[in-house]
């Protein structure tokens, strides 16, 4: 019997990453859920494992190559790598510091590059890398450093897709709109409500709606799609609704 294909998901202790890990396990992948928050990760994965899903936890910081490498060694190979770990914080452009900026790029861009590269080195033809950008890559106010990081993820995705297409590895980005996760819930409730009101349907996406798009790009049927960014934002990227 053929062993299950293997998918790694970073940032999988909560929010979008966790929903992706769950979705891919339902799709039949053996999933390795990676995150730097050890306790939160284990607590999130345990009920899933108990319910019979093939998910295991691996504590790793996406900015630390050695820990990412160790996580990858828990499996014989890698079919799919989803780079969902990321951070967000708010700051007016005029107040941003180099430290704010560098930290954002370090986690969101270098933290996408390292797991993607480590995975690509171990992938054979048919492999898939899915990165997580954001609708915010198109612009926005009070988060220029995040906008820069998520635009960089799109550029990196396109460049990886070009270099890896000869190896038969497809690389695509999913760019979620405003999604209901611990990241966005960490904002004051009145700010969450303001953001939600700006969404085309007046409400945030659920993490499962984002995971569904990742599942599509991770599936064997979509091998001819590469270098693309799929906006999953209810049409907000079409404009006309403010930030
Ligand atoms: N929530 C949204 O509205 C939204 C919209 C667009 C894009 N995104 C992107 O989706 C991804 C997931 O966002 P979320 O809302 O689920 O966030 P979240 O904060 O709820 O979850 C992010 C996870 O990433 C992990 N993480 C952060 N830095 C890490 C590191 N260095 N190493 C390993 N793990 C690390 C965190 O521990 C956390 O578990 C992020 O890349 C985010 O930028 C989110």
Which of 84, 112, 173, 183 should be mutated for ligand 1, with most atoms under 8 A from CB?
183
**CA of 15, closest atom in ligand 1:** 16
The pLDDT profile of the chain, 243 residues, written as one tens digit per residue, is 669 999 999 999 999 999 999 999 999 999 999 999 999 999 999 999 999 999 999 999 999 999 999 999 999 999 999 999 999 999 999 999 999 999 999 999 999 999 999 999 999 999 999 999 999 999 999 999 999 999 999 999 999 999 999 999 999 999 999 999 999 999 999 999 999 999 999 999 999 999 999 999 999 999 999 999 999 999 999 987 655
Distances (CA, A) of 192 to 5, 116, 184, 197, 229: 38, 31, 7, 9, 26
CA of 171 to the centre of ligand 1 (A): 19
User: By alpha-carbon position, which residue is closest to atom 42 of ligand 1?
Assistant: 86
Report the C-alpha gap between 86 and 108 in whole angstroms.
Answer: 5
Helix (H) or strand (E) holding 34: strand 30-35
Angle at 186 between CA 53 and CA 134, to 5 degrees: 70
Report the C-alpha gap between 36 and 106 in whole angstroms.
Answer: 14
Is 114:162 a contact under the CB 8 Å cutoff? Answer: no
Residues with catalytic roles = 146
Q: Whole-prediction pTM value?
A: 0.98
- Phi, psi (rounded to 5 degrees) for 13: -75, -20
CA of 119 to the centre of ligand 1 (A): 19
Q: Which domains does the chain have, with CATH numbers?
A: 6-235 (3.40.50.720)
């Amino acid at each position: 019997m053929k062993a299950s294909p293997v998918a790694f998901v970073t940032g999988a202790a909560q929010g979008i990453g966790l929903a992706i890990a769950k979705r891919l396990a339902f799709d039949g992948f053996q999933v390795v859920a990676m995150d730097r928050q050890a306790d939160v990760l284990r607590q999130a994965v345990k009920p899933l494992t108990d319910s019979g899903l093939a998910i295991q936890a691996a504590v790793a910081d996406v900015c630390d190559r050695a820990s990412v490498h160790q996580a990858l060694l828990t499996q014989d190979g890698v079919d799919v790598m989803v780079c969902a770990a990321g951070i967000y914080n708010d700051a007016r452009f005029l107040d941003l510091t180099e430290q704010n900026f560098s930290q954002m790029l370090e986690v969101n861009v270098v933290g996408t590059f390292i797991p993607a590269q480590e995975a690509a080195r171990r992938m054979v033809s048919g492999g898939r890398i899915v990165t997580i950008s954001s609708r915010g890559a198109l612009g926005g106010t009070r988060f220029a450093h995040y906008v820069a990081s998520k635009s960089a993820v799109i550029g990196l995705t396109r460049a990886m897709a070009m270099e890896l297409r000869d190896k038969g590895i497809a690389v695509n980005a999913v760019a979620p709109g405003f999604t209901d996760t611990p990241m966005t819930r960490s904002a004051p409730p009145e700010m969450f409500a303001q953001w939600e009101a700006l969404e085309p349907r007046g409400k945030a996406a659920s993490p499962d709606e984002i995971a569904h798009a990742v599942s599509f790009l991770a599936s064997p049927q979509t091998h001819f799609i590469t270098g693309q960014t799929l906006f999953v934002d209810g049409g907000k990227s079409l404009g006309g609704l403010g930030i």
